[in-house]
Every structure is written in structure tokens, then in C-alpha cells.
Amino acid sequence: MDREHSTSASMAEFLRSARTRLTPREAGLDDPGQGRRRVPGLRREELAHLAGVSVDYYTRLEQGRSRSASAEVLDALATALHLDDAERSHLHTLARPRPRQARRRPAPSVSTPPPGTCWRPSSRPAAPVSSSDGASTCWPITHSPDV
């Protein structure tokens, strides 16, 4: 699992957990809807409405399919979920993309050129010749400098 996916999955789990802990009555919803609830806590639609975001966008956040959310959206979700300061801070930390570490390129190695490499006679050592007769034939020189 790559780091970015892990971060969005962690944020998704945090949002699901916070949503299931909050009852509709605690969220200030007088009429929590008709019928029995299949899951504890708020429905996604209810939370999206309270936070002022679309249901589709909140669903993508909760399912880990959205890469990032603005600070304003995170604050609106934190307020709607009645998060305390530590939980609000944790939500922002989870949503913040981690900087990618630059891949290190291996240092170029000084090695012996492959067999058949041609050398141009000059005062500069290790000056390979690229072609000689137009047919991509490289005519070797009998003596090549040490590399």
C-alpha cells in the first residue's frame, strides 16, 4: 500500500468512526428520518448536509477516493461531527498530503567500456568514436587508452 493511499484510508476510517459516534439528536437533527437505521450514528447524507458539502464529495472522502480536502471543508466536517480540538487537529493531519521523498538516482559508475568500443586518437583519454563508414560499422583502433 503506497503512502498516499494509506493516508486517505486512515482519513476515511477516522471520518466513518466519528460519524458513527454522533447521534442525529446530538447533531441537532429534530427529525432524524423515517424508519430504522441500518447503521449507528449519522447517515452520510445528514453529515454532508450539516457540513455544507455534497453527498458525493463526502462519500468520496469517507471511502478514501478523494486525495485531499481544503481546510475549510475539514473545518466544516469537524464542526458537524462535534470534534474536539485534538480530533480536529488529527483530521487536518490525516488530510495533509505527505511530501514525497525524492528518489535517489544511483551515482554514475566509472566502468570499462563494453568490448568493441572504438577510441578516437587524441590527447584526451577515453574519447569513443561513434561511426566510421556510414553503415554504423565502428573500426577499432589497435590501441585504446586506459580508462
The pLDDT value recorded for residue 1 is 44
User: CA 40 to CA 133: how far, in whole Å?
Assistant: 81
Q: What is the biggest distance separating any 2 CA atoms in the chain, rounded to whole angstroms?
A: 94
**pTM of the complete model beyond 0.85:** no
- Mind listing the pLDDT tens digit of every residue in the chain (147 residues)? 444 556 678 888 999 999 999 988 888 887 655 667 777 889 999 999 999 999 999 999 988 887 678 999 999 999 999 999 999 999 999 888 666 666 777 666 666 666 666 555 555 555 555 544 555 555 555 555 555
Taking a C-beta distance cutoff of 8 angstroms, is the pair 12, 63 a contact? yes
The pLDDT value recorded for residue 104 is 72
Grid coordinates given for 113 = 567500456
CB within 8 Å of 13: residues ≥ 6 apart: none
Taking a C-beta distance cutoff of 8 angstroms, is the pair 82, 27 a contact? yes
The pLDDT value recorded for residue 39 is 75
